[in-house]
């Protein structure tokens, strides 16, 4: 069965610094997708970045990059040049590609960016 | 704005009652997913519909049911409500129903409070 583990309940970072949010996953499938979502205090879930298991290069989207280490089954999110607006909950999620598209989420990491 | 709409935004009701949550997917998306986010269970997949047909079921209680209509909007019906059903209910949509790199876009959620 799929499982996502986010071991950092909370992280602090100063504005303009980079921060890494950890995510490890467990699956027996060879083909899967990994996602990061941001949930601000307003509650909505905002898609940030996607990495496919067969993608050879790490995904990047603006200030977000995904450090994908397949052998270690980790998919860490790196946020560069943190901004105050980055303060939010961050969820890592996985979808196995052999079946339906349901997402399995981790427990989330609360990021607080200080001035 | 993800393009997914959900109504109502907030819902307060009493135990034993029945409520209906509504979701309109992004234009062109045929798949709709429902997720529940609660403090004790985290984010959990409930059910998926594709073009009007149920495709996958997750941890959905028997008191809950859903459907997707010909115009592709979806409704989640929650009956015999209990205090523990208080949660944020998300609808998400994507283009297809089988995996293939299509990310799911989430609506703003409906916050249900059962008193």
pLDDT digits (tens, 9 = 90+) for B65-105: 999 999 999 999 999 999 999 999 999 998 865 555 568 89
Cβ atoms within 10 A of the Cβ of B14, count?
10
- Reported as a single tens digit per residue, the pLDDT across A4-51 is 999 999 999 999 999 999 999 999 888 889 999 999 999 999 999 999
Distance (Å, rounded) from C-alpha A74 to C-alpha A24? 4
The conformation of residue A5, written as its DSSP 8-state character, comes to E
Which chain A positions have a beta carbon within 8 Å of B59's beta carbon?
Answer: none
CB contact under 8 A, B103 and A52: no
Distance (Å, rounded) from C-alpha B91 to C-alpha B32? 7
Note whether B11 contacts A: Cβ–Cβ < 8 A: no
Of A35, A44, A104, nearest to B103 by CB-CB distance is: A35
CB contact under 8 A, A107 and B102: no
Place of tokens 């028997």: B62
Peptide bond into B8 cis (omega under 30): yes
Which chain A positions have a beta carbon within 8 Å of B108's beta carbon?
Answer: 43-44
Which chain B positions have a beta carbon within 8 Å of A61's beta carbon?
Answer: none
Distance (Å, rounded) from C-alpha A113 to C-alpha B37? 24
């Amino acid at each position: 069965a799929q499982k996502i583990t986010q071991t950092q309940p909370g992280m602090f970072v100063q504005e303009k610094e980079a921060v890494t949010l950890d995510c490890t996953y467990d699956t027996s499938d060879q083909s899967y997708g990994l996602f990061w979502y941001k949930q601000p205090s307003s509650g909505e879930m905002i898609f940030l970045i996607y990495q496919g298991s067969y993608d050879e290069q790490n995904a990047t989207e603006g200030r977000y990059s995904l450090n994908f280490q397949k052998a270690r089954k980790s998919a860490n999110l790196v946020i560069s040049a943190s901004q105050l607006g980055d303060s939010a909950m961050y969820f890592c999620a996985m979808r196995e590609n052999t079946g339906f598209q349901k997402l399995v989420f981790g427990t989330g990491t609360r990021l607080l960016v200080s001035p | 704005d993800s393009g997914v709409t959900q109504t109502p935004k907030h819902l307060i009701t009493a135990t034993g009652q029945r409520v209906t949550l509504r979701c309109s997917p992004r234009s062109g998306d045929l798949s709709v997913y429902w997720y529940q986010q609660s403090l004790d269970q985290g984010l959990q997949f409930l059910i998926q519909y594709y073009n009007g047909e149920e495709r996958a079921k997750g941890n959905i209680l028997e008191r809950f049911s859903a459907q997707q209509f010909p115009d592709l909007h979806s409704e989640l019906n929650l009956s015999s409500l209990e205090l523990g059903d208080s949660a944020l209910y998300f609808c998400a949509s994507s283009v297809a129903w089988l995996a293939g790199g299509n990310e799911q876009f989430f609506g703003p959620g409906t916050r249900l409070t059962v008193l």
